[in-house]
Chain A
């Protein structure tokens, strides 16, 4: 792919940064291209919940002025980047895909937002998602579903479906999502882009609407592994406003990509290739494995014996935390308040009943149940112990291998409405949940398409704080295949 044949809105971030640096393009032009593209595709795709073109253009002009003055802030300066609508941007809406926050305007910036601003990025677009990030298809958005750019009647995955779809459709050059059980990686796989969930604590959660605090992590979507590294560079790092932020030393993630490639040891967890895996997905992932073998990597089978319990562990811990995290949405200080409440009791019950959708209510009730008197030990405490075992499985595997390679999603993009049963939907996340429970960095890299033209991705899971190595391994495949540069016929 060369930039001369690529529309501005489909440039990779690295290409756009080079073009900006060389003066071949301005941020205003890039931003205009992205806005025009969004206006063209949004009626069909519906990946955006809100957008502020005037603000984006002003940011672009400021970037161009900076650059003209010789004060570029780096590779992200002037690049249009969109955010999942769970990340706070001052004076912009923050809905989390919920009626509850339909009219909420954030009075503050998330830490990642501040860091993107400091890197000069042009913030454009707030992306659709499953309500409060609960879902795997973006169908749980209170406002509207989002189409998959490769097949509009199919889902883009979720919960960060809007952010994956918007990137795949050319509505931004990179986007940020959040991932609690796979919410970046699964939509990345279903939309054919790269998506990284960093190590828990690598990126500050301050300003991220909380779903499950001990699992949530913000991460980037990009068209290439390199792009993802560039965005991670800007947003990662210790934040004193997030007690769970890790104080790791600064790393140069982009430089790690160009480090001399060393053959790595890759592990295939046998529990991730069993029943329920779509044969076409299996074939595409197998081809990626073959590529790594050809690069000289040692590939061996490993076992993560507690994998069968990951989903259950996740649904206990995540719903418990969510039931408490979402208690603040009560219609008192902000958010939806029911009309003419009779009394305080009525205000609480009706505001929350009207403000939350079915999936959110279901998880709040499940979470309330597992924490309630008499059940805490059997569910929550036990799940925390199983979580320890899951993490131990991974750490043991990393004694033998440098990274694990698995399918990202057992199936490619499914049709809207196809998974009406909650449990069936939850099973979409079986390969991604483990990395959240263990707090590990994990990335979905596109690796081809099904015969029907639906993207497929594989997942790389790395050691704690092993983003540099993970990105290097992913890049070794991605720089050759560049599946994420393919453009849907939209």
Chain B
């Protein structure tokens, strides 16, 4: 755990967040402090400890393959910022 490796630009790109220079400076400082705190986890002896994804693990939680009604298109698109031809419109995607 080396907090000096925190690359805010790369992280903001992965998270799709435009950050102002001020935000970057503030976050860099605050996150460094937080990571300093979090680094204490390295003190814990976790050898032979299984990770917990859930507090109460269960398994094979499923439903049968029987369709249920969904949303009407009008409901599905009710909150769409932009739509056309019953589809969500986005700026042209260039692959």
- Are A and B part of the same complex? yes
Residues of A within 8 A of B (CB): 103-105, 107-108, 199-201, 214, 240, 243-244, 246-247, 306, 308-309, 311-313, 315-316, 323, 327, 330-337, 341-344, 346-350, 352-353, 356, 358, 361-362, 364-366, 368-369, 372, 375, 378-379, 381-389, 391, 421-423, 426, 437-440, 464
Q: Could you tell me which residues of chain B, from 63 to 95, have a CB within 8 Å of some CB in chain A? A: 63, 71, 75-76, 78-82, 88, 90-94
B78 touches A105 (CB 8 A): yes
B51 touches A369 (CB 8 A): no
B16 touches A330 (CB 8 A): yes
CB < 8 Å: which of A105, A346, A353, A386 contacts B79? A105
Check A378/B1 contact, CB under 8 A, given A214-B54, A337-B82. Answer: yes
A residues near B78, Cβ cutoff 8 Å: 105, 107
Inter-chain contact count A-B, CB under 8 Å? 174
B56 touches A201 (CB 8 A): yes
B residues near A201, Cβ cutoff 8 Å: 55-56
Bound CA span A423–B1, Å: 19
A362 touches B41 (CB 8 A): no
Task: Tell me the minimal C-beta distance from A53 to chain B in angstroms.
Answer: 23
Interface centre among B6, B44, B49, B53 (most CB of A within 10 A): B44
Not counting A312-B41, A384-B51, a sample of 18 additional A-B residue pairs whose C-beta atoms are within 8 angstroms of each other reads: A240-B63, A244-B54, A309-B41, A311-B37, A327-B16, A332-B81, A347-B90, A361-B23, A366-B35, A372-B14, A382-B46, A386-B46, A386-B49, A387-B55, A388-B51, A421-B33, A422-B33, A438-B55
For the complex of A and B, 3 pairs with smallest distance between CB atoms: A439-B55, A384-B51, A334-B79
B54 touches A309 (CB 8 A): no
A243 touches B16 (CB 8 A): no
Interface residues on B, range: 35 or more
A384 touches B14 (CB 8 A): no
B55 touches A437 (CB 8 A): yes
Check A365/B42 contact, CB under 8 A, given A103-B79, A334-B80. Answer: no
B56 touches A200 (CB 8 A): yes
Bound CA span A323–B14, Å: 10
18 contacts between A and B (CB under 8 A): A107-B76, A201-B56, A244-B56, A311-B37, A333-B79, A352-B17, A362-B27, A362-B31, A365-B8, A365-B27, A368-B11, A378-B1, A382-B41, A384-B53, A388-B50, A388-B51, A422-B30, A438-B55
Bound CA span A349–B11, Å: 12
B residues near A311, Cβ cutoff 8 Å: 37
B34 touches A423 (CB 8 A): yes
Check A361/B27 contact, CB under 8 A, given A369-B11, A422-B34, A439-B54. Answer: yes
A residues near B23, Cβ cutoff 8 Å: 358, 361
B residues near A104, Cβ cutoff 8 Å: 79
Task: Tell me the minimal C-beta distance from B53 to chain A in angstroms.
Answer: 6
Task: Tell me the minimal C-beta distance from A396 to chain B in angstroms.
Answer: 14
Q: Which residue in chain B gives the minimum CB-CB distance to A356? A: B17
